[in-house]
């Protein structure tokens, strides 16, 4: 355990620490960030009104639009000379989300990452290949400094150039891989195709930055013969390092001394209890550069406060089922891409890459899934092919309650992603 005094903390002591930190950060935001002052003043809220942790519910949410409206540095709480690093999320539309870090922020960030890597089972003897993009994306540098803080060896590979990634992975004897689940899968299936899986020493795969399913973890475990874990974070609250899985794989432990999580039912503006599923809202408890209060992540998950078998007492968040803005509504039925992934990844006959196409034909929504087969020879056997399509359709129907059109395609025919994958094309939006 990297910070045992914190990770095994008595929850009552933790609550007291969180309350002190919350009071401090609320006052800090009020005094240093005009947006927060204006918002508080508009509803007559003063920092001294925060007396218990529950009083956090008095504070308005912060949203992505707030960050965009204050682009680039409007939410920074310190003068620029105290900011020693900037990151930004690429975002699909408009201006990026920018984050600024003081020296203390960077130090806390790498502590969070070192904890997460250590709980995944890493030690200072591991050699980490970091295959997240280095640059403005928080994944590359964020994980990089965490590996160093742990005392392990870091290979700052960045993403892309898959053949070279695999050559160096083999030659340097990397024992741990850090990547998005989709890129980890791409690396694994390319290594399998090139016949070099057996030469690799990867024993740990640490994934994050996009959703994955239990079935994806199992497939990676089979391919690499390595232990898969995932971690969670977002640029708005600093990047990766919010939470990570331990060896029990029973949810991701939240670094609760630094992040205060809430699960909210946004439709009824109600903070939900343990085990209930809703939108994750995060307050940074110690950030100096760009603190955020009650940030609406749009990620759907739930929390448990039960102590974990690993000995940690920190809250755990369940795997993210999807984002509120990722959810597809097909003929009135709510569909998360992760539900489709669970079905496809659980079938050995299929490859690991798929795409989802949504359209509207004659006023009716249609959902089509293209998925690669594992063995190309199957595509020449009409009867087997029909049988497999029927099987997939049936499984999808059981999970989604709607009919899905399925098309099987050749191995490696769907474009791979080296960073965050985009699997859904929604033609209705055109
Ligand atoms: O993806 C930060 C990160 C980098 C996390 C590396 C973990 C590892 P953004 O680019 O701002 O930051 O994207 C944040 O990605 O709101 C989630 O929707 C999604 N996401 C991140 N981790 C997970 C995960 C980074 N483990 C957005 N499971 C978040 C599901 C995830 N979704």
Bridge partners (DSSP) listed for residue 303: 317
337 lines ligand 1 (CB under 6 A): no
Q: Is the CB of 216 under 6 A from ligand 1?
A: no
Which of 95, 100, 159 is closest to 132 using CA atoms? 159
Going by C-alpha positions, the residue among 96, 100, 94, 92 that lies closest to residue 75 is 100
How much is the pLDDT for 175?
Answer: 98
Counting from 1 in the atom list of ligand 1, the atom nearest the Cα of 252 is 26
Residue 208 CB less than 6 A away from ligand 1 = yes
Contact call for residues 83 and 101 (beta carbons, < 8 A): yes
Residue nearest to atom 4 of ligand 1 (CA): 139
Check residue 363 and give its pLDDT. 85
Nearest CA to ligand 1 atom 12: 234
**Residue 239 Cβ contacting ligand 1 at under 6 Å:** yes
Q: Is the peptide bond before 72 cis (omega within 30 degrees of 0)?
A: yes
Q: Are 371 and 341 in contact (CB under 8 A)?
A: no
Residue to mutate, 99, 146, 179, 232, ligand 1, most ligand atoms under 8 Å from C-beta = 232
Instruction: Find out whether 238 and 282 touch, Cβ atoms under 8 Å.
Output: no
117 Cβ contact partners less than 8 Å away, ≥ 6 residues apart: 2, 128, 143, 146, 147, 150, 152, 176, 206, 244
- The proportion of the chain whose per-residue pLDDT surpasses 90, expressed as a percent, equals 94
Q: Is 99 in the pocket of ligand 1 (CB under 6 A)?
A: no
Residue 90 confidence (pLDDT): 74
Angstrom distance (rounded) from CA 203 to CA 344: 25
**If residue 339 lies in a helix (H) or strand (E), which one and from where to where?**
helix 337-345
- Residue-level pLDDT at 282: 98
Question: Which pLDDT value is given to residue 323?
Answer: 92
Low-confidence ranges of the chain (pLDDT < 70): 91-93, 430
Question: Cα of 232 to ligand 1 centre, how many Å?
Answer: 6
List beta partners, residue 316: 253, 304
Cα gap 52→20, rounded to integer Å? 9
């Amino acid at each position: 355990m990297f910070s045992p005094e914190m990770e095994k903390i008595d929850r009552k002591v933790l609550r007291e620490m969180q309350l002190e930190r919350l009071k401090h950060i609320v006052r800090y935001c009020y005094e240093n960030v005009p947006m927060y002052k204006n918002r508080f003043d508009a509803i007559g809220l003063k920092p001294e009104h925060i007396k218990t942790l529950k009083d956090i519910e008095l504070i308005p949410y912060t949203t992505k639009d707030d960050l965009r409206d204050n682009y680039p540095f409007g939410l920074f709480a310190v003068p620029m000379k105290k900011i020693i690093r900037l990151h930004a999320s690429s975002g699909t539309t408009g201006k990026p989300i920018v984050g600024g870090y003081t020296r203390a922020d960077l130090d806390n960030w790498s502590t969070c990452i070192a904890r997460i890597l250590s709980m995944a089972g890493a030690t200072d003897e591991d050699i980490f290949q970091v295959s997240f993009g280095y640059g403005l994306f928080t994944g590359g540098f964020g994980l990089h400094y965490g590996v160093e803080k742990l005392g392990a060896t870091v290979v700052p590979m960045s993403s892309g150039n898959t053949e070279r990634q695999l050559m160096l992975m083999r030659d340097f004897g990397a024992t741990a891989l850090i990547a998005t689940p989709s890129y980890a899968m791409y690396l694994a299936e390319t290594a399998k195709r090139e016949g070099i899986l057996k030469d690799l020493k990867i024993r740990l795969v640490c994934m994050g930055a996009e959703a994955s399913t239990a079935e994806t973890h199992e497939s990676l475990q089979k391919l690499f013969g390595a232990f898969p874990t995932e971690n969670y974070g977002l640029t708005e609250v600093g990047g990766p390092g919010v939470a990570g899985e331990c060896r029990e794989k029973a949810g991701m432990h939240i670094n609760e001394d630094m992040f205060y999580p809430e699960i909210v039912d946004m439709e009824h503006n109600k903070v939900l209890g343990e085990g209930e599923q809703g939108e994750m809202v995060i307050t940074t408890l110690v950030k100096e550069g760009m603190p955020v209060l009650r940030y609406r992540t749009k990620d759907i998950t739930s929390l448990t406060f039960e102590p974990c078998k690993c000995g940690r007492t920190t809250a755990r968040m369940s795997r993210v089922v999807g984002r509120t803005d990722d959810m597809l509504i097909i003929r009135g039925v709510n569909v998360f891409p992760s539900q489709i992934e669970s079905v496809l990844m659980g079938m050995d006959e299929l490859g690991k890459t798929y795409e989802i196409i949504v359209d509207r034909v004659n006023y009716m929504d249609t959902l089509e899934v293209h998925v690669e087969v594992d063995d190309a020879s199957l595509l020449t056997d009409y009867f087997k092919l029909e049988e497999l399509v029927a099987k997939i359709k049936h499984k999808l129907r059981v999970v989604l309650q709607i009919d899905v059109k399925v098309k099987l395609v050749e191995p490696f025919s769907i474009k791979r992603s080296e960073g965050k994958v985009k699997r859904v094309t929604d033609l209705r939006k055109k």
